[in-house]
Amino acid sequence: MVLVSDIYQSRSDNEAAIILRQDPVVYPGPYAKGEFTLSEHQLRSYRKNGFIQLRGLLPESETAELLREARELAAASGRRGLPEAVLEPGGEEVRSVFRVHGLSTVFDRLTRDGRLLDVARQILGSEVYIHQSRVNLKPGFAGKEFYWHSDFETWHIEDGMPRMRAVSCVVLLTENNEFNGPLMLVPGSHMHYISCIGQTPQDHYKQSLRKQEYGVPDETSLRFLVQRGGLQSAKGPAGSVLFFDCNTMHGSNSNISPFPRANLFLVYNSVDNRLDDPRGGLRPRPEFVASRAVDSGLQRL
């Protein structure tokens, strides 16, 4: 099938463009109230900024266990040369491990934990499944940056995600501070879609997960977003949890401090927003980066 028009067109023209968001930020639905759902006030803040950070959502003892699990997984998958283990550009250190909810029962359970799942369902207004999961390790001295991007731009073009109806849940596994390259977000940026220039090469993910060069917004658009919304960094102690909309512009600096910065990402997508064909004749990315083989929503624990 050839798509004649795509409301979120990108990487198909040689000019950048800014497109207004065509989708709700918070979807009405059957999961608006639950044990761990956000308050009205919190939800309003999420809707306005495109993210919300909850300090101390997970207790220290639990976070320490998750960090241990993440490190073991990184070491084991790096040693075995699994495709899920992505190395730092020009280095040997493990940068990210993907599909952690498939590799570890601890992370699998966490995806169904009410503290996270209630919020994801509340925001997306439906049952949800995991589109992508990963740990970003950003080791001290060696962890390289993640340049500015909207996840949705990549998921729409490279994975065929139809609409903006996914939310990333980030569990801080170590403290994130001003020294170790915390995530930076542009408040309000989720309301604009930055259409990027450049054609995407086949199997782009092999390169982009180490260092992204396509699907990168232009400087004029970034300036526009930051002038409107400013910047915020997601600093906080381990156990804090950040929920951010799939179209929120974000990035992070490299970590030249001695302190490692490890974060777990669970991306929830609505079951009503399952993946289509990628745009521009691209081959679908592998299952460990973009899940297609899920038949039903997550069962809450």
Q: Which residues bind ligand 6CS (CB under 6 A)?
A: 132, 134, 146, 149, 151, 154, 205, 208, 212, 289
> Least distance from C-beta 99 to ligand 6CS, angstroms?
11
d(CA 127, CA 31): 8
Q: Which letter does DSSP use for residue 190 in this model?
A: G
Member of 127, 151, 153, 245 binding Fe ion (CB under 5 A): 151
Residue 33: CB minimum distance to Fe ion, A: 30
Shortest separation between residue 285's beta carbon and ligand 6CS, angstroms: 8
Q: Which residue reads 């979120």 in tokens?
A: 8
Q: Which window, 10-18, 74-82, 148-156, 210-218, contacts Fe ion (CB under 5 A)? A: 148-156
- Choose among Fe ion, ligand 6CS, none what residue 77 binds, the Cβ cut-off being 5 to 8 Å by kind: none
Q: Shortest approach of Fe ion to residue 11 CB, angstroms?
A: 17
Task: Between 43 and 246, name the residue whose CB sits nearer to ligand 6CS.
Answer: 246
Distances (CA, A) of 170 to 98, 132, 183, 259, 278: 14, 12, 10, 19, 25
> Which is closer to ligand 6CS, CB of 31 or CB of 244?
244
Contact indicator for 266, 95 with CB cutoff of 8 Å: no
Q: How far is the CB of 175 from Fe ion (least distance, A)?
A: 20
Nearer to ligand 6CS, 27 or 98 (CB): 98
Minimal distance in Å, beta carbon 35 to ligand 6CS? Answer: 29
Distance between CA atoms of residues 67 and 65, nearest Å: 5
Q: Whose Cβ is closer to ligand 6CS: residue 194's or residue 289's?
A: 289
Interaxial angle between packed helices 40-49 and 114-124, expressed in degrees from 0 to 180 and rounded to the nearest 10: 60
Decide which of ligand 6CS, Fe ion, none touches 212; Cβ closer than 5 to 8 Å per partner kind. Answer: ligand 6CS
Nearest CB to ligand 6CS, comparing residues 225 and 289: 289
Give the nearer residue to ligand 6CS in terms of CB position, either 134 or 144: 134
User: What minimum distance in Å lies between the beta carbon of 102 and ligand 6CS?
Assistant: 15
CB distance 57 to 144 below 8 Å: no
Residue 158 touching Fe ion (CB under 5 A): no
Does position 153 interact with Fe ion (CB under 5 A)? The reply is: no
Binding site for Fe ion (CB under 5 A): 151
